[in-house]
């Protein structure tokens, strides 16, 4: 079975993000890194193809920059990459992203498409579902565990109460949560080998994909400053105050 993993290059979250004036689009530096949440998808893909000897292809949309993030996925062990880069895609929303990814994925034969539940820089959280819809395959989402067996895939789908067990036929799209597997650290050899792996770069023209009707970012509001925490002194009944607080926040 071949697996395709959707991954994203994002600006290093350790650095301050800047937005372009007017459009409110995120300014993407030359050096971007692999979104940490995508490491889980890549690891999952690598583990799933191991027994059958299939391939793992990563697919990514966005400005290539130095390509560092893509090569990080290749260094973990993915076999090759498809990168869709087109200036006309600047500022595209979830639907356009899903269309573009679907067009790219459709060029390959695959058993499973894996994506993270949401990217760390965009957080829309709907691309995997849209992608499945466009590809016309089932979407299995929020997986905390994934198993593939003779033409079917079974996941544990995380819910508020615990998890659901969801099974579907292949091919399918699965979105995985952080923690589904422990991502490996690339080996030194893997990093060097990644330099020789193929990264196929495609434009919108190559794909014949179309941009979806526009989403506009009208305004941006600064997040509220964090307020000072509340200290509960323990005179033996602190647990009650904590229970009350959790109940007030509807955590319990």
Partner 1 sequence: MAGYEPRLDEIVFTLTQVADLDSVAKLDGFQDIDADTARQILGEAGRFFSEVMAPLNRVGDRQGSVLTPEGTVRTPDGFKEAYKKYVDAGWSAAHLSERWGGGGLPYIIGVVIEEMFKTANMAFSLAPMLTHGAVEALERHGTDEMRAAYIEKLVSGEWTGTMNLTEPEAGSDLGAVRTRAERQEDGTYRLFGTKIFITWGDQDLTDNIIHLVLARTPGSPPGTKGISMFLVPKFILDEKGDPGERNDIKVVSLEHKLGIHASPTCVMSYGEEGRGAVGYLVGEEHQGMRNMFTMMNLARVGVGMEGVAIGERAYQQALGFARSRVQGREIGGDSKDSVVIIEHPDVRRMLLTIRANVEAMRSLLYVVAAEGDHQIHADSEERRKLAGDRLALMTPIVKAWCTDLGVEMASLGIQVHGGMGYIEETGAAQLLRDSRIAPIYEGTNGIQAIDLVLRKVPVEGGAVVSGLIAEMAAELDTMSPHEDLAQFREELAVAIQGLGETSTWLGERLIAGDLRSALAGATPYLRQFGTVLGGWLMARAAVAALSAPSGFEPDFLEEKVTIARFYGEQLLPVANALAPAVKGGAALLDGAGL
Tell me which residues touch partner 1 (CB under 8 A).
Answer: 14, 29-31, 33, 66, 68, 71-72, 75, 185-189, 191-192, 194-195
Q: Nearer Cβ to partner 1, position 196 or 249?
A: 196
Q: Nearer Cβ to partner 1, position 111 or 183?
A: 183
DSSP annotation of 29 reads P
Question: What are the C-alpha distances in Å from 189 to residues 39, 57, 76, 184?
Answer: 18, 19, 10, 13
Q: Nearer Cβ to partner 1, position 189 or 230?
A: 189
Q: Nearer Cβ to partner 1, position 9 or 92?
A: 9
Q: Nearer Cβ to partner 1, position 25 or 185?
A: 185
Q: In angstroms, what is the minimal distance from the CB of 56 to partner 1?
A: 18
Q: In angstroms, what is the minimal distance from the CB of 159 to partner 1?
A: 30
Do the beta carbons of residue 232 and residue 241 sit within 8 Å? yes
Q: In angstroms, what is the minimal distance from the CB of 175 to partner 1?
A: 24
Distance CA 155, CA 146 (A): 4
Q: In angstroms, what is the minimal distance from the CB of 68 to partner 1?
A: 6
Distance CA 34, CA 185 (A): 13
Asked if the bond preceding 171 is cis, omega within 30° of 0, the reply is yes
Q: Nearer Cβ to partner 1, position 31 or 85?
A: 31
Q: In angstroms, what is the minimal distance from the CB of 200 to partner 1?
A: 19
Q: In angstroms, what is the minimal distance from the CB of 79 to partner 1?
A: 18
Contacts of 58 (CB under 8 A, 6+ apart): 4, 5, 6, 7, 42, 70, 73, 74, 78, 80, 81, 82
């Amino acid at each position: 079975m071949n697996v395709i993993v959707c991954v994203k290059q994002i600006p290093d979250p350790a650095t301050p993000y800047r937005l372009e004036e007017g459009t409110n689009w995120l300014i993407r530096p030359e050096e971007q890194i692999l979104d940490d949440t995508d490491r889980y998808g890549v690891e999952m893909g690598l583990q799933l193809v191991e027994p059958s000897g299939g391939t793992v292809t990563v697919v990514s949309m966005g400005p290539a920059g130095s390509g560092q993030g893509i090569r990080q996925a290749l260094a973990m062990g993915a076999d090759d990459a498809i990168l869709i880069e087109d200036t006309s895609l600047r500022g595209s929303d979830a639907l356009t992203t899903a269309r573009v990814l679907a067009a790219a994925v459709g060029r390959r034969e695959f058993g499973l498409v894996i994506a993270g539940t949401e990217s760390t820089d965009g957080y829309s959280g709907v691309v995997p579902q849209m992608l499945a819809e466009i590809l016309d395959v089932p979407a299995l989402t929020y997986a905390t565990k994934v198993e593939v067996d003779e033409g079917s895939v079974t996941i544990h789908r995380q819910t508020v109460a615990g998890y659901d067990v969801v099974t579907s036929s292949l091919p399918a799209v699965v979105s995985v949560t952080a923690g589904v597997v422990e991502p490996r650290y690339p080996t030194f050899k893997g990093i060097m080998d990644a330099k020789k792996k193929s990264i196929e770069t495609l434009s919108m023209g190559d794909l014949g994909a179309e941009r979806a009707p526009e989403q506009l970012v009208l305004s941006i509001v600064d997040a509220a400053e964090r307020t000072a925490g509340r200290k509960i002194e323990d005179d033996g009944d602190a647990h009650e105050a904590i229970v009350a607080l959790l109940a007030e926040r509807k955590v319990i």
